[in-house]
Amino acid sequence: MASERDNNSSKAFPMKGGQGQDSYAQNSNHQRTGANITKDIIKEAILEKLDLETLLQNSSNNVFRIADLGCSVGPNTFFTVQNIIDSVNLKLQSEEHGLDSSLEFQVFFNDHAGNDFNTLLKSLPEDKQYYAAAVPGSFHGRLFPESSIHVFNSSYALHWLSKVPQDIVDKNSPAYNKGKIYFTSEDKKVIEAYSAQFESDIESVLNSRALELVPGGIVTFLIPSIPPNSKNRFEANANIIGNVLVDMVNKGLIGEELVDSFNIPMYMPGSEEVKELIEKNGKFIIEKSELLLRLFNEQLPDVRSACMHMRAVWEGVFKEHFGQDLVDDIFNRYEKKLAESIFLLDPSFKTLGQLFVLKRT
Amino acid sequence: MASERDNNSSKAFPMKGGQGQDSYAQNSNHQRTGANITKDIIKEAILEKLDLETLLQNSSNNVFRIADLGCSVGPNTFFTVQNIIDSVNLKLQSEEHGLDSSLEFQVFFNDHAGNDFNTLLKSLPEDKQYYAAAVPGSFHGRLFPESSIHVFNSSYALHWLSKVPQDIVDKNSPAYNKGKIYFTSEDKKVIEAYSAQFESDIESVLNSRALELVPGGIVTFLIPSIPPNSKNRFEANANIIGNVLVDMVNKGLIGEELVDSFNIPMYMPGSEEVKELIEKNGKFIIEKSELLLRLFNEQLPDVRSACMHMRAVWEGVFKEHFGQDLVDDIFNRYEKKLAESIFLLDPSFKTLGQLFVLKRT
């Protein structure tokens, strides 16, 4: 069998743990909106595409296993998982193929070992109708035995890279990203490096899931991406905080080296990019893909909540690199810069949500 | 399917988390000795009693699932689990029944939701050859789908009760345990109440495991117990700390009510008691039972490490009832009392380890 050692080569950037005001659990409304909007699409996909008969023929007992990859600390993961279970039960009741209708569900909540699993496990819904387990490790590697999972889901997680692309921190590379922590559309070499890392990561994710999925099972994932010819809100955000860091270098508050060696390990793909990578990988067919434009554009965030949101997501990465002492200062300055920025009010800045439903070829 | 709500009615008393000097991880040598001594017995039981052929015929793929109940934060649980895996692999290689010899192992580490799973999951062995998952919840209730686990193990956990027996905190009951936190051999009514709770708890444990075990699978557990006609070290320990609390009441440092309402939710059964309960339950046959006298008697502990050990185990219970502020004071006084006590040096105080290997009837 495969060792899980691979997983350890992937960097971990946990969301802010606990249940406090600044925790991810309290600052993931945006992701919750995503979960709400995708609810019906996932339900529909399960009703239409899940091959329950094949699935259960290949199972020695009536256990249906679901895994949520990049679950963080909740509560969105509980919401998504419950929707999957409700949909499977609905399908089971609506079909007449003599299946035993008393499935038992086992749900695996996966995230990096550095995730705050204590908070997650203490906040499991009291009335949950499933057996819960937490699975530590990177979804870029193997996490489960072969043919053991019936439905995989991942919401807002696959845009996290397994690591910062090597070239952009290599002083001798043409892609060296000095004085920046992400890229703008002019930085072609940096974009190429990010895009190559993303490709390799998606490839690993798909290869692992192809082995772990039970025949007839499905993979659903929601990933943010950028529509063609639109301004990129994520990029704008990343560059604002990048400018904060450069300011701090100029004021002598942080060493230049420390900033030059830091880059955000996330990549927002173009809206056609993910589709192409899935097709190139060839292990899955795309049963459904939906662009969810409305996801991010219904209301413009206020500065405070936009800042809290980004901090809950990014704090782990910044803390690891800059240390706890600098983090408060960085995010306070970021909030001020954000207030001065106009992009929050500019509707031409767009991010898409893309939902994919995949089946093994 | 069964709701896991039952699990929530069981009280949780986690071991001291983290990796610090006073953590369970650093103060569980005694349990490690147990794991070492039982290593060969468990290995032998797997080689002799595990019915691999039946097991794998009932499995749709070559996944072998192991669950450790009451795993705490490690590292003993990793040691025990590895021994089980090595033994299964050894058996697989030694048999000639045409089994596919490439089993994949999935290991479930179970403890209460309040256990420090973050520490456990961060300290998983880097070279582990299994897929790991953490399962929160009380082993007195259901934790896994039906027929899904091949080997259950539990070391030093089943003597924890699901709750303090109701009667001993009921002022109107003849079993009311005023001014004590455990019992001595004179307290017949209190002993009865503890023993009844233990019986009901073991019954729940066995009933749940009987459903969760794959046909042909085994349950191994190690439980401390008291040999007939011997003095009880655990009881002596509990009563020393009980006396500390009474002293503190007399000095006005703790309210009397608070001490009267506190009892240790653990029970050391007599060495015949567990066997009788398993037989009464009737769902398992005892394939092996061994008394491990040498477990506790090879060397006498020094006062400091005896205190550290008891604190790592008990701190959670004391903290919940008395609050963090009093805990240091209680255990400092306990250490002093322990130093004055002779029982540490008295070889007639004995605790047994009892190892059982069970198979479904």
DSSP class of B45: H
Interatomic CA distance for residues B120 and B124, integer angstroms: 7
Judged by phi (left if over 0) then psi (alpha if -120 to 50, else beta), residue A142 lies in beta
Taking only the tens place, the pLDDT of each residue in B120-145 is 999 999 999 999 999 999 999 999 99
| Residue closest to A289 by CA, chosen among A308, A276, A305, A300 | A276
- Provide the b/e sequence for B283-301 (b: ≥16 CB within 10 Å): ebeebbebebeebbeeeeb
Query: Which chain B residues contact residue A62 at CB under 8 A?
Result: 146
Arithmetic mean of pLDDT, B234-246: 90
Contact (Cβ atoms closer than 8 angstroms) between residue B120 and residue A123: no
Sign of the alpha-carbon dihedral angle for A341, A345, A350, A354:
positive
Whether residue A271 has pLDDT greater than 90: no
Q: Give backbone dihedrals phi and psi of A213, rounded to 5 degrees, phi first.
A: -80, 135
Question: Is residue B292 within a helix (H) or strand (E), and if so which, with residue range?
Answer: strand B284-292
Query: Which chain A residues contact residue B126 at CB under 8 A?
Result: 5, 8
Interatomic CA distance for residues A102 and A97, integer angstroms: 14
Minimal Cβ distance to A117: which of B1, B114, B117:
B117
A107 and chain B in contact, CB less than 8 A: no
Interatomic CA distance for residues A108 and A144, integer angstroms: 10
Minimal Cβ distance to A131: which of B127, B131, B143:
B143
- Shortest Cα–Cα distance, A242 to chain B (Å): 31
Alpha-carbon distance values, B83 to A116, A229, A329, B73, B135 (Å) = 29, 58, 49, 18, 20
Q: What string of DSSP letters covers A111-126?
A: E-TTS-HHHHHHTS-T
The pTM (predicted TM-score) of the whole model is 0.88
- Expressed as residue numbers, the domain containing A95 is 16-360
Interatomic CA distance for residues B153 and B242, integer angstroms: 32
Minimal Cβ distance to A63: which of B105, B113, B145:
B145
- Give the contacts of B227 (CB within 8 A, at least 6 positions apart): B271, B291, B293, B350, B352
Asked if residue B332 is part of any domain, the answer here is yes
Asked if residue A5 is part of any domain, the answer here is no
Query: Which chain B residues contact residue A60 at CB under 8 A?
Result: 58-60, 147
Put simply, the answer to whether A148 touches B61 (Cβ < 8 Å) is yes
CA A322 to chain centroid: 23
DSSP class of B171: T
DSSP class of B14: P
A100 and chain B in contact, CB less than 8 A: no
Dihedral of the alpha carbons of A228, A231, A233, A238, in degrees to the nearest 10: 100
Put simply, the answer to whether B146 touches A1 (Cβ < 8 Å) is no
What pLDDT is attached to residue A12? 62
Dihedral of the alpha carbons of B230, B235, B239, B242, in degrees to the nearest 10: -170
For tokens 């046959």, what's the residue? Answer: B285
CA B344 to chain centroid: 22
- Provide the b/e sequence for A257-292 (b: ≥16 CB within 10 Å): eebbebbbbbbbbebebbbebbeebeebeebbebeb
* H helix count then E strand count, chain A: 12, 7
B172 and chain A in contact, CB less than 8 A: no
Interatomic CA distance for residues B32 and B39, integer angstroms: 10
Query: Which chain A residues contact residue B146 at CB under 8 A?
Result: 61-63, 104
- Shortest Cα–Cα distance, A130 to chain B (Å): 7
Test the B interface: residue of A104, A111, A149 with most B CBs within 10 Å: A104
B3 and chain A in contact, CB less than 8 A: yes
Arithmetic mean of pLDDT, A187-191: 92
Arithmetic mean of pLDDT, A65-73: 94
Asked if residue A4 is part of any domain, the answer here is no
Arithmetic mean of pLDDT, B209-216: 94
Test the A interface: residue of B118, B130, B213 with most A CBs within 10 Å: B118
- Shortest Cα–Cα distance, A297 to chain B (Å): 37
Put simply, the answer to whether B63 touches A104 (Cβ < 8 Å) is no
Test the A interface: residue of B104, B208, B213 with most A CBs within 10 Å: B104
- Give the contacts of A241 (CB within 8 A, at least 6 positions apart): A181, A310, A314, A330, A334, A337
What pLDDT is attached to residue B27? 62
- B195: its two tokens: 């023993």
Q: What string of DSSP letters covers A195-255?
A: HHHHHHHHHHHHHHHHHHEEEEEEEEEEEEEB-TT-B-HHHHHHHHHHHHHHHHHHTTSS-
A139 and chain B in contact, CB less than 8 A: no
Alpha-carbon distance values, A59 to A145, A210, B152, B173 (Å) = 14, 17, 21, 52
Interatomic CA distance for residues A111 and B167, integer angstroms: 44
B145 and chain A in contact, CB less than 8 A: yes
Minimal Cβ distance to A117: which of B1, B8, B121:
B121
Minimal Cβ distance to A127: which of B5, B60, B133:
B5
Which amino acid would we find at residue B313? V
- Shortest Cα–Cα distance, B117 to chain A (Å): 6
Judged by phi (left if over 0) then psi (alpha if -120 to 50, else beta), residue B147 lies in left
| Residue closest to B140 by CA, chosen among B223, B202, B73, B50 | B202
Asked if residue B7 is part of any domain, the answer here is no
Least trusted range by pLDDT, from A295-304, A317-326, B150-159, B308-317: A295-304
What pLDDT is attached to residue A275? 95
> Which residues on adjacent β-strands are paired with residue B111?
B136
Put simply, the answer to whether B134 touches A134 (Cβ < 8 Å) is yes
Put simply, the answer to whether B135 touches A136 (Cβ < 8 Å) is no
Alpha-carbon distance values, B190 to B155, B167, B196 (Å) = 26, 8, 10
Place A26 in a pLDDT band, splitting at 50, 70 and 90: low
B121 and chain A in contact, CB less than 8 A: yes
What pLDDT is attached to residue B2? 35
Asked if residue B238 is part of any domain, the answer here is yes
A62 and chain B in contact, CB less than 8 A: yes
How high does pLDDT run on average in chain B? Answer: 86
What pLDDT is attached to residue A27? 61
Asked if residue A194 is part of any domain, the answer here is yes
**Burial (CB count within 10 angstroms: exposed 0-12, middle 13-18, buried 19+), residue A207:** middle
Arithmetic mean of pLDDT, B2-10: 40
- Provide the b/e sequence for A35-72 (b: ≥16 CB within 10 Å): bebbbebbbebbeebbebeebbeebebbbbbbbbbbbb
Put simply, the answer to whether B117 touches A116 (Cβ < 8 Å) is no
Asked if residue A1 is part of any domain, the answer here is no
What pLDDT is attached to residue A2? 35
Whether residue B324 has pLDDT greater than 50: yes
Put simply, the answer to whether A113 touches B121 (Cβ < 8 Å) is yes
What pLDDT is attached to residue A14? 65
Q: Which has the higher per-residue pLDDT, B21 or A272? A: A272
How high does pLDDT run on average in chain A? Answer: 86
Instruction: Find the CATH number of the domain harbouring B110.
Output: 3.40.50.150
Asked if residue B203 is part of any domain, the answer here is yes
Query: Which chain B residues contact residue A117 at CB under 8 A?
Result: 117-118, 121, 134
- B107: its two tokens: 């290991």
Query: Which chain A residues contact residue B114 at CB under 8 A?
Result: 122
Interatomic CA distance for residues B189 and B194, integer angstroms: 9
Query: Which chain A residues contact residue B208 at CB under 8 A?
Result: none
Place B233 in a pLDDT band, splitting at 50, 70 and 90: confident
B138 and chain A in contact, CB less than 8 A: no
- Structurally, how many domains does chain B consist of? 1
Contact (Cβ atoms closer than 8 angstroms) between residue B153 and residue B68: yes
DSSP three-state, residue B140: coil
Contact (Cβ atoms closer than 8 angstroms) between residue B98 and residue A85: no
Place B4 in a pLDDT band, splitting at 50, 70 and 90: very low
Put simply, the answer to whether A148 touches B103 (Cβ < 8 Å) is no
Place B346 in a pLDDT band, splitting at 50, 70 and 90: confident
Q: What string of DSSP letters covers A49-94?
A: H--HHHHHHT-SSSEEEEEEET-TTSSHHHHHHHHHHHHHHHHHHH
